[in-house]
Amino acid sequence: MKIAVEGCAHGELDKIYDCIETLQEREGFKIDLLICCGDFQSVRNAADLRAMAVPEKYQRMCTFYKYYSGEKKAPVLTLFIGGNHEASNYLQELPYGGWVAPNIYYMGRAGVVKFGELRIGGLSGIFKGHDYLQGLWECLPYNQNSMRSVYHIRSLDVFRLSQLKEKLHVMLTHDWPRGITDYGDKDHLLRRKPFLREDIESNQLGSMPAEKLLHTLKPDYWFAAHLHCQFAALVKHEDNRETKFLALDKCLPKRRHLQILDLPHEYDGDKCLKHDAEWLVVLKNTNHLLNVKNMEGHLPGPGGNERYNFTPTNEEKEILIQSLQNLAITSENFVKTAPAYKPGAPKAYLTDPILNPQTVDLCEKLGIDDPVQVIMARAGRVMEKPTDVDIVETKADLNPVLKTPMSKLILPAPVTPSENDCEENTCTTPISENPLLLDSLCNTSECTTPTSISGKKTFKRRNISIYSSTEEESQSMNSSSLVSPTSPSKYPRGNIE
């Protein structure tokens, strides 16, 4: 089994798939699965751009909409987790995962799936301490605060993943586990990213929940992105198990953004995507812990009167398998819930949340709740049902309706960026300078996106504030004027970061 692992996709699906096809032709093999580690940007239309918390100059349509509309189809099965640059309104339709386009599957806020005999886990979003204990309170229409907090990971997602006991082969997160730099070539990393030194030396670089999961789940492989650089590490656990960690760059020319992993045939199986029985039972058993209030809540643990161990028994898994009968995840379940982007179409606006049939079906089968539907019910609102998107698109083009004032988020006409439209410094360090990467990942090959535009450009550096609480929250503290009457006001809290 050969798997391609991509760092930050940033909506550049055409370039990623072109790179894979070039590799397949050059090396004479076939990629079975593509995994993306966040910042996927599944933007269907101009309205989705308004739900993506990035500076206006980076709010570009890119190429995902072509795969959503059916103009193109992903040439390889693609799995991805969410990062901090996402169309959060679309991903909120699929809290437990689902198809965002034919052959492109989102793993949900947290999730576990099987591809053949390979077991893959994922945790979407990034860690921010002041939101970690919050409930899943965000809902359209977003304000400047909720547009960012919606992609911050929550304790419930981590709690659910920590219940897993069966062997996990691959784990995906967007940000790095805290302390992972101690297991790799830290000096080489600092030569490329010297502004990370302060966070590394103070042990503040990375995600504390991801660090906990790393030492709890002990997967064979852990892939991440977020910091826009390649970094490899080898974690040796106390029980002699090992985790091979690899972070990858963003999809740009001359960047180490794609890695090929060659796995033994024992993982092949039927090479079909399936639900994981243990994970589904965990979701079912912990549904009562769902919190949609914008205030801190605490999960059960040792010393209390509540049950805190929700690891499924063999009997529970067998009952679930018999109930569902078929765990296969087929792309036929994909449903368009919004119109696709058309170049030259009028500007669109955020709408109310839409019921995604994939989520409705899974919730009914498991007897669990859709967080957004619970929020809407508490507010006395009703979620919209998907209609014929082709009809909706025609009407919207003729007579767009402004439902939520978003004057500060008016966007220019979306354009597809070129390779030079990037804010990062380029990194051209050869892979051979990092022997740990070559030693720790068995039978791998790497690919860089070919440069199509010559010449150099000086880019601004903004990685220095990736883990700073001020980068994403500074504007949110003064955003009360943008709060919708139907959105819950933010619960007062102290900053514990």
Rounded CA-CA distance 341/66 in Å is: 8
Q: 259 has which bridge partners?
A: 5, 446
What strand order describes the sheet that includes 444-447? 98-101, 104-106, 78-80, 33-36, 2-6, 258-262, 444-447
**CB-based burial of residue 232 (10 Å sphere; 0-12 exposed, 13-18 middle, 19+ buried)?**
buried
β-strand pairing of 110-115 with 170-173: unpaired
Q: Which residue, among 112, 62, 114, 67, has the nearest Cα to 86 in the 3D structure?
A: 62
Are the CB atoms for 132 and 122 separated by under 8 Å?
no
Flag whether 102 is in a domain.
yes
Residue 344: how many other CB atoms lie within 10 Å: 7
Q: Hey, what's the torsion of the CAs at 274, 223, 12, 430, to 10 degrees?
A: -140
> Which residues, at least 6 apart from 124, have a Cβ–Cβ distance to it below 8 Å?
38, 81, 82, 83, 91, 107, 108, 109, 110, 151, 153, 157, 174
Q: What is the pLDDT of residues 112-170, one digit of tens each?
A: 999 999 999 999 999 999 999 999 999 999 999 999 999 999 999 999 999 999 999 99
Q: What is the pLDDT of residues 173-213, one digit of tens each?
A: 999 999 999 999 999 999 999 999 999 999 999 999 999 99
Q: What is the pLDDT along the chain (497 residues), one digit of tens a residue?
A: 999 999 999 999 999 999 999 999 999 999 999 999 999 999 999 999 989 998 888 788 999 999 999 999 999 999 999 999 999 999 999 999 999 999 999 999 999 999 999 999 999 999 999 999 999 999 999 999 999 999 999 999 999 999 999 999 999 999 999 999 999 999 999 999 999 999 999 999 999 999 999 999 999 999 999 999 999 999 999 999 999 999 999 998 888 999 999 999 999 999 999 999 999 999 999 999 999 999 999 999 998 889 999 999 999 999 999 999 999 999 999 999 999 998 887 777 777 899 999 999 999 999 999 999 999 999 999 898 887 555 444 444 434 333 334 334 344 444 444 443 433 333 333 333 343 443 435 444 455 454 443 344 343 443 334 334 334 443 443 443 333 334 343 333 433 33
What integer pLDDT is reported at residue 463 of this predicted model?
39
Rounded CA-CA distance 20/17 in Å is: 5
Q: Is the dihedral of CA 310, 312, 315, 321 positive or negative?
A: positive
What residues make up the domain containing 296?
Answer: 2-482
No. of helices (H) and no. of strands (E), the chain = 16, 14
Flag whether 490 is in a domain.
no
Rounded CA-CA distance 310/116 in Å is: 26
State the DSSP string of 195-222: GGHHHHHTT-SSBHHHHHHHHHH--SEE
Rounded CA-CA distance 273/106 in Å is: 12
Rounded CA-CA distance 366/368 in Å is: 6
> How many domains are there within the chain?
1
Are the CB atoms for 354 and 335 separated by under 8 Å?
no
Flag whether 493 is in a domain.
no
Q: At what angle do helices 277-285 and 314-324 cross, to 10 degrees?
A: 100
| HEC secondary structure over 144-161 | CCHHHHCCECCHHHHHHH
CA dist list (Å): 146 to 39, 49, 89, 136, 294: 18, 15, 11, 10, 10
What integer pLDDT is reported at residue 487 of this predicted model?
39
**Residue 360 has which token pair?**
């409705």
Flag whether 494 is in a domain.
no
Are the CB atoms for 71 and 347 separated by under 8 Å?
no
- Side chain identity at residue 307, one-letter code: R
Rounded CA-CA distance 161/207 in Å is: 15
Q: Which residue, among 86, 211, 218, has the nearest Cα to 152 in the 3D structure?
A: 86
Rounded CA-CA distance 125/226 in Å is: 10
Flag whether 207 is in a domain.
yes
Q: Hey, what's the torsion of the CAs at 79, 84, 90, 92, to 10 degrees?
A: 90
Flag whether 488 is in a domain.
no
Flag whether 497 is in a domain.
no
What integer pLDDT is reported at residue 91 of this predicted model?
98
Are the CB atoms for 9 and 41 separated by under 8 Å?
yes
What integer pLDDT is reported at residue 55 of this predicted model?
82
What integer pLDDT is reported at residue 304 of this predicted model?
85
Are the CB atoms for 436 and 234 separated by under 8 Å?
yes
β-strand pairing of 78-80 with 98-101: unpaired
Residue 442: how many other CB atoms lie within 10 Å: 11
Residue 317 DSSP symbol: H
Are the CB atoms for 96 and 362 separated by under 8 Å?
yes
Residue 170: how many other CB atoms lie within 10 Å: 24
